[in-house]
Structure 1
Amino acid sequence: MKHKVIPVVVIVVLILVLGGGYAGKYLYDKYSYSNEQADTKSYFGIEDENDVPIILQNEKSDLHARLIDGVYYMTFSDVQNILNDRFYYGQEEGILVYTTPSAIITVGVDSTTTSSTDGSSEDLGYKAAVYDNDTLYVAIDYVKKYTNFNYTAYTDPNHITMYTQFDQEIRAVIKKNTKLRLRGGVKSEILVGLEKGDTVVLLEKLEDWSKVVSPDGYIGYVENKFLENIQTVDLLAPSDYAEPEYTSVHLDGKVNLVWHSIGGKAGNDTLSSAISNTSGLNVISPTWFSLSDNEGSIESFATQGYVDTAHANGMQVWAALDNFNNSNFHNGEGSTAKVLASSTSRKRLIDSLMSEVRTYGIDGINVDLEFTGSSLEDITADGGEDYIEFIRELSIACRAEGTILSVDIPVPMGNSFFHRKELGVVCDYVIIMAYDEHYEGSAEAGSVASISYVENGIKNTLEDVPADKLVNGIPFYTRIWFTSTDGTVKSQAGGMSWANSYISSNGIDMNWDQETCQYYGTYTQADGTVVEIWLEDAESIQTKLNVMDVNGCAGVAAWQLGYETSDIWPVIEAYVNK
């Protein structure tokens, strides 16, 4: 009997040993740390040996730099979108341009030497801009000369860590050698080793693992037991960069500007009579300068007598530049796009303007380049880059002369190519033309400037432009609308007295419309044509001024002198002096 028991015991022991081995292997397989290495090139999404992915603000991004001849480059579009949109590329001339408050710095594609309008030059030791596969790239180190960011480049594999914002981040110290893993869990692939004393950025803390950024820019997971000294730290901006100071010239108090459409040199003689019934005006803007050819020449109606008369009446002269009053340019072969796209044409235009300023003692330039009309058919959103570069370059000249620079732009409505934020930096005043809500050619009749249109225009512009630079433009004109029985819509525009005469002669009953904050009237002609009027008068202007006051606008600008009735001026003067 004893001999029979021994084999049974042996079998049981073998079963236990084998079971324990399997259990041990199971436990080992489950809880032991994997030594499998992740494919880091695939992790970063590296496409070729010169491709350099960018980790931006501790996040993997779609941005990629390029390593060309040992220099790191980013695409021009990425430079503008991510780092500094003040860089401008003159495609026709193959030049990269950067403007400071006082100088224009230029470097050609494939060139290592910059030149500046202040007479200086610099040998960079590398090409500032190059083309690679028809894509324009800009050296990151060149961008860094004018931009507040930092970056660190790594090899094996290629990648860059970059910071463009400097707020706070949470950091932790690794207290024992360990591994950074692709995902949370001991079986996840290893990205990189972490050594005792390494500092990591803590992005997210989970129950057992934390998402962190390694010192060399890998984003992965580490066990919480390996983290210590967790603290929030302030990020320091690069000490080798100083933000440029864009100084501005402002009037004492609010701007009270009116545009004076003179139509030619003879129109200058109308100034005294035109302002005889006004009060409180401190700026007049005569329509003096118009583009006259594609080389940047201008037609000028400036006279010394006009300036002297304005000054004698306590008004500054901010001469207007436009692209629609010279018929040969506007209706001929003139192209604002061609003028603004050429550095030579921009310089000729600016030099001509500043020569007029010095000759006549003009106090300011008011730029009204409108992106509509036959001469501007080739202007697209891309043309906005040429436009804002012109304004930057003009601002340098105005700043040097102490000349006030203002620009006229429409309210924000899908036209971001005007670069309002940049205008708010480089210009002294930004004037929004808060009218032509319904204009000649509109498909439907409506107000020229309803109160919601004005209010939304101001508030949306204030998202980009400081209130102490924002001047709101108001209309002194009314548009009378005629809708025929077949649905055809036409209109006529004129001044306040003209509109009042039409209302009176046709016996139109006018009632206050709370939605537009204007008097509204309508009647039907004998042929069935429906006539509608949204009237601009002292009361409608007052509601606009109230909105401007609430939003802290820097003043008011009115189009145009001679269209107003005399009761308008006390209303505007009260706002300006408030």
Structure 2
Amino acid sequence: MKKKSHSIFAVLALALVIAAAIVVFALIRKYTPSKEHEDLTTYYHLTNSDEVAIVLNNEVTSSKARVIDGHIYIDYDFVHDNLNSRFYWDNNENILLYATTQNLISAQAEQTSYMVTKSSADYGRKIVTINSDTAYIDLDFVKEYSDFKYKHVKDPHRIIITSQWGKYQTATAKKNASLRVRGGIKSPILKKVSSKEEVTVIEQGDNWDKVMTDDGIIGYMQKRMLSSVKEKTRKSDFTPDTFAHIKKDYNICMAWHQVTNQSANNAVSSVLANTRGINVLSPTWFYLNDNNGNIANLASLNYVNYCHNQGIEVWALVSNLENKNVDTTEVLTHTSKRQNLVNQIVSMAIQYNLDGINVDFESMNGEKVGDAFIEFIRELSIKCKNNGVVLSVDNYVPMSHTSFYNRKEQANFADYVVIMGYDEHYAGSPEAGSVASLSWVTQGVSDTLKEVPADQVILGMPFYTRVWEIPSESSSDDTAAGAKIPSKIYGMKAANDFLATHGATKTWQDDCGQNYSEFTDNDTTYKVWLEDSASAECRLKLVEEKKLAGASFWKLGFETSDIWDTVTRYIH
């Protein structure tokens, strides 16, 4: 029995020893830091030897640059979206463009030479190369015109780009330590950080801090291995382009004069005789007339001379609306066609001694043409400035779907940005409403001023009213679901005469800043938000209050004579 007892105790003791060993081994395994190293090629998601990882402002991006003949080339989309949106790539004609305040830089793909306006220069290597339909631009070429710094590190290739300036945090390793993929001692090691090596602190945690090393490796270090965080400041050494503008030392009082044929130019004297205070006239003379960028011309030198004799400048309007067979996107997205359009506009300005050009491009597909449109404005601006021609650009009231007009960039190149403060409700609107309620216009001005300096903003105002005709069978919500409400445009006098004929009364509405009238006749309800001198005064007060550059009016011939007394009280 004793032998059996001893055997049992021996087995139990051995089991206890083994269990203790297992526990000890588990504890050692749990608390012993991993020595596994993460492969940096995998970490940066590099698959080819010529690929270059991009670390932008303390973040590893999904984009990849390329090493070509020992130089870094970075894809156009990354450049445009992250480094400098002023670069424009024409993938139809394989040409890279960059506009400064005075010059247009252009480089054809696979070429070492490039143009600075009309002068040729040699870069010494390809500026742009194409691979699998992607345009790659030499990073040093991009840097010449852009506000960023970069560092290239090999094995594996990566570039560390900094484009954000100001305060940032750093810490120093107290002794040799491991930088790991994630917080935790079992996470793979990315790099051994040497004692006294400085790292950028991206995010502080309780026990682990997220940091980036000088060679662009981002991971986690134990907080106890780092010195106290210090604050430093990064400064840019880039000198940005300084944009000059042709601006008047007086408030702009502009009116659009609709000219649909040559003979209409002969009416300029009688049209102006009915106005007061106008210092700029914008006749609708030019429009895009084919898909090669050629324009139709209704201009008259006699018209210009007459205006100049009256002390009035002429800023001729160029539009894309008249010829419905023209594809605006086709013209603007092909450099040769777009520049043909630019050259024709400037040629007309010189030929007819114009003081300015007013661009009115509407109804465009922003997704397809947005970047090309703003490039058109840049290129036109350079040539207008070189010839002393004022450039103004008409814009919708800011909405999310019109953001592609890029008013902020327009303000860099164009001299004036015009808000078309009308057509809040328009032909085909699903509901009746004001052409330009005061609250809507006020919001439009406020949103525009977030992007454009006040002394470059001209507020466009309507001289017309819409009379809405709502059939009796329509619902109380103005019309049946999905239907469009019929409406007709009336000038100021015609709208008042219409109301007088029907014996309708008017009531002032403070929220709209307009007189309103509603009546029913022959089973049709009419709703009218009137444009008159009272509504115009509300908007002119806004011009004065916000210190805008001036006002413009669509269109001459729709106004009543008393409107000019109101205009001249506010526009000096």
Report the TM-score when normalising by structure 1: 0.89
Structure 1 CA distance for aligned equivalents of residues 340 and 109 of structure 2: 23
| 2:261 is aligned with 1:269 | no
Amino acid at match of 1:85: S
Between the aligned partners of 1:78 and 1:14, the Cα distance in structure 2 is 66
* RMSD after superposition: 2.8
Ranges in structure 2 where 5+ consecutive residues have no aligned partner: 1-9, 475-483
3-state SS of 2:184 partner = coil
Aligned equivalent of 2:245, options 243, 248, 256: 248
Deviation, 1:173, is 2.1
1:387 to 373, 378, 401: 373
Count of matched residue pairs: 557
SS at match of 1:473: strand
Q: Is the CA contact (8 Å cut-off) linking 2:329 and 2:368 kept in structure 1?
A: no
For 1:272, what is the secondary structure of its paired residue?
helix
| Aligned residue number for residue 6 of structure 2 | none
Letter in 2 for 1:513: Q
Q: What does 1:17-32 correspond to in 2, within 5 Å? A: 25=25, 28-32=28-32
From the superposition, tell whether residues 294 and 205 of structure 1 become closer, same or farther in structure 2 (CA, over 3 Å).
closer
Contact 2:366 2:402 in 1 (8 A): no
Which position in structure 2 is the counterpart of 1:499? Answer: 495
Q: Partner residue of 2:4? A: none
2:44 aligned residue: 44
Point out the more displaced range, 54-63 or 473-482.
54-63
Contact 1:289 1:301 (C-alpha < 8 Å) held by counterparts: yes
Worse-matched range after superposition: 433-442 or 16-25 = 16-25
Residues 1:16 and 1:346: Cα distance change in structure 2 (over 3 Å): closer
Alignment of 1:346-361 (within 5 A): 346-361=338-353
Q: Which amino acid aligns with 2:264?
A: G
Q: For residue 530 of structure 1, what is the aligned residue in structure 2?
A: 525
CA offsets 1:202-228 (integer angstroms, 9 cap, x no match): 122333332211111111222333323
Partner of 1:554: 549
Alignment of 1:442-457 (within 5 A): 442-457=429-444
**Paired residues of 1:88 and 1:98 also in contact (CA < 8 A):** yes
Alignment of 1:7-406 (within 5 A): 25=25, 28-125=28-125, 127-228=126-227, 230-237=229-236, 239=237, 241-325=238-322, 330-331=323-324, 333-371=325-363, 379=365, 381-406=367-392
Structure 1 unaligned segments of length 5 or more: list them. 1-9, 373-378
Cα distance, 1:68 vs structure 2: 4.0
Residues 221 and 105 of structure 1: is their aligned pair in 2 closer, same or farther, counting only changes over 3 Å?
same
Is residue 424–residue 465 contact of structure 1 (8 Å, CA) maintained in 2? yes
Q: Is 1:462 matched with 2:449?
A: yes
Which letter maps to 1:347?
Q
Matched residue of 1:415: which SS? helix
* Structure 2 Cα separation of the partners of residues 370 and 209 of structure 1: 54
Q: What residue number does 1:521 align with?
A: 517
d(CA) in 1 for partners of 2:538 and 2:262?
A: 36
Distance 1:380 1:234, change over 3 A: closer
Decide whether aligned partners of structure 1 residues 18 and 481 sit closer, same or farther in structure 2, where only a CA change above 3 A counts: closer
Q: Following the alignment from structure 2 to structure 1, what is the Cα–Cα distance between the partners of residues 63 and 402?
A: 26
Contact kept, 8 Å, 2:88 with 2:96, in 1: the verdict is yes
Write the distance in 1 (CA, Å) between the matches of 2:539 and 2:328.
33
CA–CA separation in structure 2 for the residues paired with 1:341 and 1:87: 14
How far 1:124 sits from its partner (Å)?
3.7
Q: How far apart, in 1, do the equivalents of 2:83 and 2:341 lie?
A: 30
Provide closer, same or farther for how the CA distance between residues 89 and 486 of structure 1 changes in structure 2, counting only shifts above 3 A.
Answer: farther
Deviation at 1:18, TM superposition (A): 8.6
How many Å apart are 1:475 and its aligned residue?
Answer: 0.2
Looking at structure 1, the residues matched to 96 and 351 of structure 2 have their Cα atoms a distance apart, in angstroms, of 33
1:504 CA displacement: 0.8
How many Å apart are 1:501 and its aligned residue? 0.9
Deviation at 1:58, TM superposition (A): 0.7
Q: How many angstroms apart in 2 are the aligned matches of 1:17 and 1:381?
A: 73
Question: Residue 426 of structure 2 corresponds to which residue in structure 1?
Answer: 439
1:113–1:532 Cα change, 3 Å: same
Aligned to 1:120, the other structure's residue is in SS state strand
Q: Secondary structure at the match of 1:287?
A: strand
Q: Which amino acid aligns with 1:412?
A: P
- SS for the counterpart of 1:212 is strand
Query: What is the alpha-carbon distance in structure 2 between the residues aligned to residue 11 and residue 386 of structure 1?
Result: 85
Q: How many Å separate the matches in 2 of 1:27 and 1:169? A: 39
Q: CA deviation at 1:184?
A: 2.7
> Whole-Å Cα distance in 1 between the matches of residues 156 and 362 of structure 2?
50
Q: State the secondary structure of the residue aligned to 1:381.
A: helix
Does the 8 A contact of 2:113 with 2:120 survive in 1?
Answer: no
Taking the aligned partners of 1:499 and 1:281, their CA distance within structure 2 comes to 24
Separation of aligned partners in 2, 1:348 and 1:156: 48
Q: Which amino acid aligns with 1:507?
A: G
Corresponding position of 1:477: 464
- Aligned partner of 2:397 in structure 1 is 411
Aligned with 1:443: secondary structure?
coil
Of 501, 508, 513, which residue of structure 2 is paired with 1:512? 508
Q: In the aligned structure 2, how far is the partner of 1:61 from the partner of 1:261?
A: 52
* Deviations, residues 336-374 of structure 1 (Å, cap 9, x unaligned): 2233233333333322222332233211111112226xx
* Structure 2 CA distance for partners of 1:540 and 1:193, relative to 1, 3 Å: same
Determine what percentage of the aligned residue pairs are the same residue: 37
Cα shift at 1:109: 2.0
Name which of structure 1's ranges 173-182 and 160-169 shifts more when overlaid on structure 2. Answer: 173-182
Change in Cα spacing, 1:70 to 1:440, as seen in structure 2 (3 Å) is same
Cα deviation, residue 25, structure 1 = 5.0
CA distance in 1, matches of 2:336, 2:187: 60
3-state SS in 2 of match to 1:228: coil
CA distance in 2 between partners of 1:543 and 1:99 (Å):
39
Q: 1:25 to 1:451 in 2, by over 3 A?
A: same
Of 110-119 and 420-429, the range deviating more from structure 2? 110-119
Question: How far apart, CA to CA, are the structure 2 residues paired with 1:207 and 1:533?
Answer: 65
Contact kept, 8 Å, 1:307 with 1:361, in 2: the verdict is: yes
Q: Is the 8 A contact 1:103 1:118 kept in 2?
A: no
Is the alpha carbon distance of 1:382 and 1:531 closer, same or farther for their aligned partners in structure 2, counting shifts above 3 Å? same
Choose which of 557, 563, 566 in structure 2 pairs with 1:568.
563
Per-residue Cα deviation, 1:163-190 (whole angstroms, up to 9, x for no partner):
1211221112223222212223333321
Moved more, 501-510 or 275-284: 275-284
- Alignment deviations for residues 34-65 of structure 1 (CA, whole Å, 9 cap, x no partner): 32212333322334433333221112333332
Instruction: Write the deviation string for residues 455-514 of structure 1: whole angstroms up to 9, x where unpaired.
Output: 221122222222221111110011111122454622211210111111111111111223
CA distance in 2, matches of 1:420, 1:243: 19
Alpha-carbon displacement from aligned partner over 1:134-171 (angstroms, at most 9, x marks no partner): 33333322222211112222232332211121122111
Q: For 2:334 and 2:350, locate their aligned partners in 1 and report how far apart those are by CA, in whole Å.
A: 24
Q: What is the CA–CA distance in structure 2 between the aligned matches of 1:423 and 1:441, rounded to whole Å?
A: 30
CA contact (8 A) 1:382 1:417 kept: no
Cα separation, 2, equivalents of 1:18 and 1:371: 81
Q: Partners of 1:278 and 1:393 in 2: how far apart? A: 35
TM superposition shift of 1:17: 9.4
Instruction: Specify the alignment match of 1:539 in structure 2.
Output: 534
Q: Which residue matches 1:6?
A: none
* Mean Cα deviation higher: 128-137 or 511-520: 128-137
Describe the SS at the equivalent of 2:241. Answer: coil
2:266 alignment partner AA: D
SS state at 1:366 partner = strand
